[in-house]
Structure 1
């Protein structure tokens, strides 16, 4: 569950969705503008990726075949699948094996779920641009729906919001599916900062989701004017804010610790284990680790890097 709103009816914290028809050359133009700390240029590139297409390099097989496997690169312990952005870039890369043309949004949805990133034009001068899996998740879900990294995450310092938090605690006690609530102050690299409320639930049936949504709407009504508030599902193993809160933020409401009754009976999904070290957010107030990395040395090599090859997009 993820939703953004602002007390007082102002626009949400992440702006508006991009509009307009796809431009075949937009991605390559945007790539030329990407540089360290140029977050607006990086966002423009992600928009172009979402609306465009890429040429995925296959290490084995052909598009749609059972043995199809994408190429793979390992950068600082993280896996990336290499791709190029046009037939001209494919020729310039010297890639002699098969390739697959796929939309940026589709490949993003395929890769991020197993925490693989996408590396664009690794043969280009400077080594191309890497898109980590957390940003591919944003491309797949909608860039206007998820905050732009790198994120700066900390405990919120909002004295004026104490009545908001108190109301959340009182009403959470009445919604038995709510196990715990956490909070974080999120400062995206692009866009306004906002308050994130982490929801830990015993189950996520439709009635529960509706009850929690009503709870949040009632609480937002007493939030300080202009405060942007977003809800985050703590069970979402791909959400960087949820991962940070699980590792760094104590619940400000905990049903079991508060003695508000035993958990409901019935089968509930297990709470996911703590994230691996590479997935955790850093210490309070630090960046979350989005962005580009140095290119892999020697790409394209004669042998794949020493890691398990990406299994490849299964085709349609």
Structure 2
């Protein structure tokens, strides 16, 4: 689908964000390898700001409008600039669209495209992988900051697990339960319980979450417990569980071999392209499905 059909020109994506127009550029100036707090500030600025998307083909609102693209280490990014001044500095001679950061994030992550900011800048700019665009779209405070360290839990919580297994059979939509220990790059680690459901309707999801909430009363003091839908094809914890975590409750009692996961998303700060990268722009990007 074309860029125009997915959102159109400035204004068709919703109200232009209010706030500090220079926040994104100031945040970009502070970002660097391992500077996770600065990267989080960039994500917050992007969520509340706007970007100038570079159109490889067509004009804003036209049916044939298409964004440019970049390929960085096998991952796709759509290039953007952060201000009229940066647009002029880029030398971009084709059309562009001004779009709220939160809305372009919501559109791009669903087809696993990231956003590359100011690729013309010295050093090559900064990329925001699609997994972080997902965090912007769904809420930065709701999802853990990557990159994540994921492993089998080593927490001793026999009462918690016993109650989960005992009552899981009574939750009919629940096929299986998995688990992972999640260490975000910022924030406290937590125990994630994966919900593998036959039925993903809101009542079924709520019933499974209520089960985990009841069992959490018997978890060791200070242990944070969260849930994740194993079927979520965009959640990095769910992808890890599907590839690595054998169910500790399985209604079908057929463990088998772990299924192949979707490609694990790049997550967290993406540095400038390595020397010899394909550069920007490349061939026209064919657009992305509508929201």
Class of the TM-score when normalised by the shorter of the 2 chains: 0.7 to 0.9
Identify if the C-alpha distance between structure 1 residues 181 and 312 changes in structure 2 by more than 3 Å, giving closer, same or farther. Answer: closer
Q: Is the 8 A contact 1:81 1:310 kept in 2?
A: no
Contact 2:180 2:245 in 1 (8 A): yes
Does 2:166 match 1:170? Answer: yes
Give the alignment of 1:6-21 within 5 angstroms: none
Displacement of 1:299 in angstroms is: 3.8
Shift in CA distance, 293/244, structure 1 to aligned 2, threshold 3 Å: same
How many corresponding residue pairs? 269
Rounded Cα–Cα distance in structure 2 between residues aligned with 1:118 and 1:291: 12
How far 1:289 sits from its partner (Å)? 4.8
2:240 is matched with which residue?
244
**In structure 2, C-alpha distance between the alignment counterparts of 1:122 and 1:96, rounded to whole Å:** 15
For the 8 Å contact 1:70–1:312, the answer to whether it is kept is no
Give the Cα–Cα distance (whole angstroms) in 1 for the partners of residues 65 and 204 of structure 2. 41
Which of 169, 189, 193 in structure 1 is aligned with 2:189? 193
Structure 1 residue 314: Cα displacement: 6.6
The CA distance in 2 between the partners of 1:143 and 1:234, in whole Å, is 20
Q: Are positions 1:309 and 2:285 aligned together?
A: yes
Instruction: Indicate whether 1:230 and 2:226 are aligned.
Output: yes
Q: How does 1:66-145 map to 2 (within 5 A)?
A: 66-145=63-142
Q: Secondary structure at the match of 2:39?
A: helix
With structure 1 as the length reference, what TM-score do the two structures score? Answer: 0.81
Kindly tell me: are residues 109 and 120 of structure 1, through their superposed partners in 2, closer, same or farther at Cα, counting changes over 3 Å?
A: same
Q: CA deviation digits over 1:4-63, x for unaligned, max 9?
A: xxxxxxxxxxxxxxxxx7311111000001101111110010000001000000001111
CA distance in 2, matches of 1:106, 1:215: 34
Change (3 A) 1:300 1:156: closer
Gaps of 5+ in 1: 1-20, 259-272, 282-287
Structure 1 pair 298/241, CA: closer, same or farther in 2 (3 Å)?
closer
RMSD: 2.1
1:40 to 27, 37, 41: 37
Mapped to 2, the partners of 1:310 and 1:142 lie a distance apart of 27
**Residue 264 of structure 2 corresponds to residue 280 of structure 1:** yes
Aligned equivalents of 2:51 and 2:165: distance in 1?
Answer: 47
Give the equivalent residue in structure 2 for 1:62. 59
Kept in 2, the 8 Å contact 1:68–1:312? The answer is no
* Inter-CA distance 86–255: structure 2 relative to 1 (3 Å threshold): same
Q: Secondary structure at the match of 1:59?
A: strand
Query: 2:69, 2:77 within 8 Å by CA — same for their partners in 1?
Result: yes
Conservation of the 8 A alpha-carbon contact between 1:247 and 1:280: no
Show CA shifts across 1:134-166 (max 9, x none): 00000100100000000000001111x121111
Aligned-partner SS, 1:163: helix
> Any residues of structure 2 matched to 1:17-36 within 5 Å, and which?
22-36=19-33
CA distance in structure 1 between the aligned counterparts of 2:24 and 2:260, rounded to whole angstroms: 36
